[in-house]
A and B are shown apart, each in its own frame.
Chain A
Amino acid sequence: MKNKLYIYVATALLFAVTVTSCEKIVEIDPQNSVTPAVALKDVDGYQSVLISVYDRLQTYGYYGRDMAIMGDALADNLFTATAISGSRYNTQNLNSRGAHYNIWANAYGAINELNIIISGIDGLQDVPTSKAGLRVRVKAEALALRGMVYFDLARIYGYEPTKVPTTGTNANFNKSAVLRLTPTTLAAEAASKPRATILEVYASIEKDLLASIAAFQSGPSVDAAFVIKSSNPYRVTESFTHGLLGKVYLYWGGKDAAAVTEFDKALNPTITTAVLSAAGNAAADFKKVPHPESLFELNYVQSVEVVGVTGSNDGLFTYTQPTGTNANNLATFGGQTVSNELVALLEPGDDRRALIFSARTSTNAVVYNWANKYPSSNGAYTDNVKIMRYADVLLMKAEALANQGFYPQAAALVVQLRTSRNATVVGVPVTAAIIDYIQDERRRELFFEGHRWFDLKRLGKTITKPAQATAAVPVVYTDYRILAPIPTGEISLNPSLPQNPNY
Chain B
Amino acid sequence: MKKLVLSLFILCCTVMTVFSQGRTITGTVTSNEEGLPIPGVSVKVKGTNLGVSTNANGKYSLVVPATATALEFSSLGFVLQTIAINGTVVNASLVSDSKALTEVIVTGYGVQKKREVTGAIAQIKGESFQDQPIQSFDKALQGRAAGVQVNSTSGQPGGGISVNIRGTATINGSTQPLYIVDGVQMNSGGVSGQTSVNTLASINPNDIESIEILKDAASAAIYGSLAGNGVVLITTKKGKAGKSVIRASAQIGNAKQYNPYELLDAATWYKLRVEAFENQYVRAGLSAAQGAIEAAKATFPALAGGVPATIDDYNWIDAVSQTGKNSQYDLSVSGGDAKTKFFISGSYNNNDGTILSSNFKRGTLRANLEHAISDKLTISASLSLAANKATGPSTNAGFFTNTPFTGVLLTAPVNKVYNADGTFNTTFVGTNNQNSVQNIKQEIRKAGTFQTVSNLSLTYKILPGLSAKVFGGVDFSDVSDLNYRPATLSAAAGSVGSGSESFRRNINYTTTGTVNYAKNIGDHNFSVLGGFEFREVTGTVLTGTAQGFASPVISLLSGASTPTGTASTFTGYRTAGILGNAKYDYKGKYLFSTNLRYDGSSRFGANQKFGLFYGVSAGWRVIDEDFMKSQTTVSDLKLRASYGETGVQPTDNFGVIALYGIGGQYGNPGLSGGLRPNQLPNPDLTWEVSKQVNFGLDLGFLKNRITLAFDIYRKTNSDLILPRTLPGDSGFGSINENAGKAKTEGIDIDLNTRNIETKDFSWSTNFNIAFNRNELLQLNNGLTNISDFFYTVGMPLYQIFTFKYAGVNPADGRPMYYDKNSNITYNPTNADRYYIGDQNPDFFGGFTNTFKYKGLTLDFLFQYQYGNSAYLQSAQYIEQSGSIANNQLVSQLDRWTTPGQLTAVPRAFQGQVEPGGYSMINFSSRFVEKASYIRLKSANISYKLPESITQKIGIPNVTLSLQGLNLVTFTNYRGDDPENTGNNLNFYPNPRIISGGISVQF
Residues of A within 8 A of B (CB): 3-4, 7, 11, 14-15, 18-19, 22-23, 25-28, 30-36, 38-40, 45, 47-56, 58, 104-105, 108-109, 111-113, 116, 177-178, 180, 183-187, 189-193, 232, 234, 299, 301, 304-305, 487, 489-490, 493-494
CB contacts (< 8 Å) of B462 on chain A: these are 3-4, 7
| Contacting pair B609 A49 (CB below 8 A) | no
Task: Give the distance in Å from the alpha carbon of A38 to the alpha carbon of B609 in the complex.
Answer: 22
Task: Give the distance in Å from the alpha carbon of A490 to the alpha carbon of B604 in the complex.
Answer: 29
The interface size of chain B toward A, counting residues with CB under 8 Å, comes to 61
Q: Is the interface of B mostly helix, strand, loop or mixed?
A: strand
B464 to chain A, nearest CB (A): 12
Closest 6 CB pairs of A and B: A112-B731, A52-B663, A55-B664, A52-B674, A190-B730, A51-B674
Q: Is B33 an interface residue (CB 8 A)?
A: no
Say which residue of A49, A51, A493 sits within 8 Å of B665 (CB atoms): A51
Q: Is B915 an interface residue (CB 8 A)?
A: no
Contact (A31, B570) CB under 8 Å given A36-B658, A52-B674: yes
Contact (A49, B576) CB under 8 Å given A108-B731, A487-B728: no
Closest to A112 in B: B731
Contacting A at CB under 8 A, from B673-697, are 673-682
Contacting A at CB under 8 A, from B845-893, are none
Task: Give the distance in Å from the alpha carbon of A48 to the alpha carbon of B610 in the complex.
Answer: 35
| Contacting pair B673 A304 (CB below 8 A) | no
| Contacting pair A25 B661 (CB below 8 A) | no
Task: Give the distance in Å from the alpha carbon of A30 to the alpha carbon of B659 in the complex.
Answer: 9
Closest to B725 in A: A493
Q: Mark B805-844, 1 if CB is under 8 A from A, else 0.
A: 0000000000000000000000000000000000000000
Closest to A180 in B: B729
Say which residue of B660, B662, B665, B726 sits within 8 Å of A187 (CB atoms): B726
Task: Give the distance in Å from the alpha carbon of A192 to the alpha carbon of B725 in the complex.
Answer: 11
CB contacts (< 8 Å) of A33 on chain B: these are 654, 659-661, 678-679
Contact (A108, B610) CB under 8 Å given A26-B574, A32-B570, A54-B674: no
Closest to A188 in B: B680
CB contacts (< 8 Å) of A11 on chain B: these are 515, 530
* 14 intermolecular pairs with C-beta atoms under 8 Å apart: A4-B463, A19-B578, A28-B653, A36-B677, A49-B660, A49-B676, A51-B663, A177-B729, A184-B731, A190-B732, A193-B727, A232-B668, A304-B665, A490-B728
Q: Is the interface of A mostly helix, strand, loop or mixed?
A: helix
CB contacts (< 8 Å) of B627 on chain A: these are none
Residues of B within 8 A of A (CB): 462-463, 468, 513, 515, 530, 532, 534, 536, 538, 569-576, 578, 600-602, 604, 609-610, 653-654, 657-668, 671-682, 725-733, 735
| Contacting pair B674 A55 (CB below 8 A) | yes
Contact (A18, B726) CB under 8 Å given A26-B609, A113-B731, A187-B680: no
* Most chain B Cβ neighbours within 10 Å, of A48, A49, A111: A48
| Contacting pair A58 B664 (CB below 8 A) | yes
CB contacts (< 8 Å) of A31 on chain B: these are 570
Task: Give the distance in Å from the alpha carbon of A305 to the alpha carbon of B672 in the complex.
Answer: 12
| Contacting pair B578 A55 (CB below 8 A) | no
CB contacts (< 8 Å) of B671 on chain A: these are 301, 304
Task: Give the distance in Å from the alpha carbon of A364 to the alpha carbon of B673 in the complex.
Answer: 42
A192 to chain B, nearest CB (A): 5
A8 to chain B, nearest CB (A): 10
CB contacts (< 8 Å) of B463 on chain A: these are 4
| Contacting pair A105 B728 (CB below 8 A) | yes
Task: Give the distance in Å from the alpha carbon of A47 to the alpha carbon of B672 in the complex.
Answer: 9
CB contacts (< 8 Å) of A113 on chain B: these are 663, 676-677, 731
A60 to chain B, nearest CB (A): 13
| Contacting pair A192 B576 (CB below 8 A) | no
Contact (A58, B668) CB under 8 Å given A25-B600, A493-B727: no
Closest to B675 in A: A48
CB contacts (< 8 Å) of B515 on chain A: these are 7, 11
| Contacting pair B569 A32 (CB below 8 A) | yes
CB contacts (< 8 Å) of B675 on chain A: these are 34, 39, 45, 48-49, 51-52
Task: Give the distance in Å from the alpha carbon of A104 to the alpha carbon of B727 in the complex.
Answer: 10
Task: Give the distance in Å from the alpha carbon of A51 to the alpha carbon of B668 in the complex.
Answer: 12
| Contacting pair B728 A108 (CB below 8 A) | yes
Contact (A184, B663) CB under 8 Å given A26-B575, A192-B727: no
Contact (A48, B578) CB under 8 Å given A32-B661, A105-B728: no
Task: Give the distance in Å from the alpha carbon of A51 to the alpha carbon of B674 in the complex.
Answer: 5
CB contacts (< 8 Å) of B665 on chain A: these are 51, 55, 301, 304-305
| Contacting pair B735 A28 (CB below 8 A) | no
A139 to chain B, nearest CB (A): 17
Contact (A55, B666) CB under 8 Å given A26-B601, A30-B570, A185-B658: yes
CB contacts (< 8 Å) of B682 on chain A: these are 187
Task: Give the distance in Å from the alpha carbon of A232 to the alpha carbon of B664 in the complex.
Answer: 21
CB contacts (< 8 Å) of B468 on chain A: these are 7
Task: Give the distance in Å from the alpha carbon of A39 to the alpha carbon of B661 in the complex.
Answer: 9
| Contacting pair A27 B666 (CB below 8 A) | no
| Contacting pair B673 A30 (CB below 8 A) | no
| Contacting pair B666 A299 (CB below 8 A) | yes
Contact (A104, B729) CB under 8 Å given A113-B677, A187-B680, A304-B665: yes
Task: Give the distance in Å from the alpha carbon of A239 to the alpha carbon of B666 in the complex.
Answer: 20
| Contacting pair A26 B602 (CB below 8 A) | yes
Contact (A299, B668) CB under 8 Å given A26-B601, A108-B730: yes
| Contacting pair B676 A52 (CB below 8 A) | yes
Task: Give the distance in Å from the alpha carbon of A332 to the alpha carbon of B657 in the complex.
Answer: 43
Closest to A232 in B: B668
| Contacting pair B672 A48 (CB below 8 A) | yes
Say which residue of A7, A14, A39 sits within 8 Å of B532 (CB atoms): A14
Say which residue of B676, B677, B731 sits within 8 Å of A111 (CB atoms): B731
| Contacting pair A35 B659 (CB below 8 A) | yes
CB contacts (< 8 Å) of A4 on chain B: these are 462-463
A168 to chain B, nearest CB (A): 27
| 13 additional A-B residue pairs with CB within 8 Å, beyond A26-B604, A187-B735, A190-B726 | A7-B515, A26-B600, A26-B609, A31-B570, A39-B660, A55-B665, A58-B664, A104-B728, A105-B728, A113-B676, A189-B730, A190-B730, A190-B731
CB contacts (< 8 Å) of A47 on chain B: these are 672
Task: Give the distance in Å from the alpha carbon of A49 to the alpha carbon of B676 in the complex.
Answer: 6
Contact (A58, B731) CB under 8 Å given A22-B576, A25-B534, A34-B660: no
Task: Give the distance in Å from the alpha carbon of A184 to the alpha carbon of B676 in the complex.
Answer: 12
Say which residue of B600, B660, B672, B727 sits within 8 Å of A494 (CB atoms): B727
| Contacting pair A186 B681 (CB below 8 A) | yes
Task: Give the distance in Å from the alpha carbon of A447 to the alpha carbon of B576 in the complex.
Answer: 64
| Contacting pair B660 A35 (CB below 8 A) | yes
| Contacting pair B569 A51 (CB below 8 A) | no
CB contacts (< 8 Å) of A111 on chain B: these are 729, 731
Task: Give the distance in Å from the alpha carbon of A491 to the alpha carbon of B682 in the complex.
Answer: 25
CB contacts (< 8 Å) of A49 on chain B: these are 660, 663, 674-676
| Contacting pair B536 A28 (CB below 8 A) | yes
Task: Give the distance in Å from the alpha carbon of A28 to the alpha carbon of B570 in the complex.
Answer: 11
| Contacting pair A18 B731 (CB below 8 A) | no
| Contacting pair B732 A184 (CB below 8 A) | yes
Say which residue of B576, B666, B735 sits within 8 Å of A18 (CB atoms): B576
| Contacting pair A56 B664 (CB below 8 A) | yes
| Contacting pair A301 B668 (CB below 8 A) | yes
Task: Give the distance in Å from the alpha carbon of A28 to the alpha carbon of B653 in the complex.
Answer: 9
Task: Give the distance in Å from the alpha carbon of A299 to the alpha carbon of B671 in the complex.
Answer: 10
CB contacts (< 8 Å) of A104 on chain B: these are 728-729
CB contacts (< 8 Å) of B730 on chain A: these are 108, 112, 180, 184, 189-191
Contact (A28, B513) CB under 8 Å given A34-B659, A49-B663, A190-B726: no
B867 to chain A, nearest CB (A): 36
B540 to chain A, nearest CB (A): 8
A194 to chain B, nearest CB (A): 10
Say which residue of A14, A28, A108, A193 sits within 8 Å of B602 (CB atoms): A28
Task: Give the distance in Å from the alpha carbon of A31 to the alpha carbon of B667 in the complex.
Answer: 25
| Contacting pair B534 A35 (CB below 8 A) | no
| Contacting pair A18 B673 (CB below 8 A) | no
